[in-house]
């Protein structure tokens, strides 16, 4: 691809509507200073200096889609509680649609609080319900998803699964069926609970840990023959077009119709790997919607995941930075 073609590709992203289904949550950062140990127990006392709320989980995928210039429709089930007001305000601040958000009075809004002092992560506190959504809420959620698909010209659907109960086998089956009928590509960032339920999706993107746990394998990350066999097994048993496995420092492996590519990681100064998987699936969805080849999808997604690892904390990808790096590599 020449410079003009690459620029046209990235400009094309702005025409895409991406539906994101999954577990949205609040990432709360509690910063403070530790000067002494508690007299009540041998634990540090932290004096809070700052508190910040950010969109997490599937919300970070929506932020990445938005940063790449496309239009995200974030769809999730949250609580009908005080924390839900924080989450809805975060959506408003980021100018993200609330159309796909369903509130359930029997659930709580997932929040993960990280306690940090002097750049040291001291503690994480999770407030969540991980049971599957009940039958009534599930049907309301499916109806809401179907309505958005019917009215919004959706170009790709992402399942962003954190095992918090929003995505169930029934939700997967219904949405994949709808997507097939409308010829909409489906992409999955899986977790353990529903790993084998994504039958018939277009692109399945586990990381290495999720792959070995999901398939109960005992293989090494650099054993590409074993990775190839595992990917072929997934494609055959689950009728999946493309399997893309993220391998952190070893890059990305992608298998499409039996042919495969290993895209090595670029050499970088890694500051924080948090959120890199969200960036990879977001970038892949837009490249897939644009009709790119599997090896190019993996190549650009690999670049994007690496770029966000150079930043501290969970941050969305910078579209212009990604395009410039891609142009620089392709011009060599």
Residues 138, 170: Cα–Cα separation, whole Å: 8
Biggest alpha carbon–alpha carbon distance for the chain: 66
Give the pLDDT score at 130.
96
Residues 324, 221: Cα–Cα separation, whole Å: 30
**Domain chopping of the chain, boundaries:** 3-24+56-108+130-330
Enter the pTM of the model: 0.92
Residues 53/26, Cβ–Cβ less than 8 Å:
yes
Please provide residue 79's backbone torsions phi and psi, each rounded to the nearest 5 degrees: -75, 170
Residues 180, 157: Cα–Cα separation, whole Å: 11
Give the pLDDT score at 150.
95
Residues 20/158, Cβ–Cβ less than 8 Å:
yes
Dihedral (C-alpha) 233, 162, 153, 72: value to the nearest 10 degrees? Answer: -130
CATH superfamily to which 3-24+56-108+130-330 belongs? Ribokinase (3.40.1190.20)
Please provide residue 96's backbone torsions phi and psi, each rounded to the nearest 5 degrees: -100, 140
Residues 109/79, Cβ–Cβ less than 8 Å:
yes
CB half-sphere exposure, 176, CA atoms < 13 A? 21
Catalytic-labelled residue, pool 80, 278, 295, 318: 278
Instruction: Tokens for 255, please give them.
Output: 């298998």
Give the pLDDT score at 313.
56
Residues 119, 187: Cα–Cα separation, whole Å: 35
Mean pLDDT by 10 residues, the chain (332 residues): 78 94 95 94 93 94 93 97 96 95 97 89 93 97 97 96 96 97 97 96 95 93 91 94 91 86 67 66 94 90 76 66 78 66
Residue 278 is among the residues annotated as catalytic for this protein:
yes
């Amino acid at each position: 691809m020449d410079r003009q073609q690459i620029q046209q590709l990235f400009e094309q992203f702005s025409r895409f509507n991406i539906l994101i289904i999954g577990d949205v949550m609040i990432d709360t950062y509690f910063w403070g200073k530790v000067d002494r140990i508690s007299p009540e127990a041998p634990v540090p006392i932290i004096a809070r200096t700052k508190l910040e709320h950010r969109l997490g989980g599937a919300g970070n995928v929506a932020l990445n889609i938005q940063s790449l210039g496309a239009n995200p429709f974030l769809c999730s089930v949250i609580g009908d509680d005080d924390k839900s007001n924080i989450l809805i305000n975060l959506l408003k601040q980021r100018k993200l649609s609330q159309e796909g958000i369903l509130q359930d009075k029997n659930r709580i809004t997932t929040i993960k609080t990280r306690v940090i002092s002097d750049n040291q992560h001291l503690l994480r506190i999770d407030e969540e319900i991980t049971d599957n959504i009940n039958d009534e809420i599930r049907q309301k959620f499916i109806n809401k998803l179907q309505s958005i698909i019917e009215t919004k010209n959706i170009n790709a659907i992402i399942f962003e699964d954190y095992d918090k109960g929003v995505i169930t086998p029934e939700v997967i089956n219904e949405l994949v069926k709808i997507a097939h009928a409308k010829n909409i590509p489906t992409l999955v960032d899986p977790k353990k609970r529903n790993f084998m339920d994504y039958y018939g999706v277009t692109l399945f993107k586990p990381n290495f840990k999720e792959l070995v746990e999901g398939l109960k394998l005992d293989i090494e990350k650099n054993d590409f023959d074993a990775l190839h066999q595992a990917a072929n097994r997934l494609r055959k048993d689950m009728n999946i077009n493309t399997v893309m496995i993220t391998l952190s420092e070893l890059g990305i492996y992608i298998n499409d119709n039996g042919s495969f590519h290993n895209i090595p990681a670029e050499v970088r100064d890694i500051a924080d790997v948090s959120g890199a998987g969200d960036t990879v699936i977001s970038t892949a969805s837009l490249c897939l919607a644009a009709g790119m080849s599997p090896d190019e999808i993996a190549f650009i997604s690999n670049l994007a995941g690496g770029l966000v690892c150079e930043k501290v904390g969970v941050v969305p990808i910078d579209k212009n930075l990604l395009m410039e790096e891609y142009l620089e590599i392709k011009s060599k």
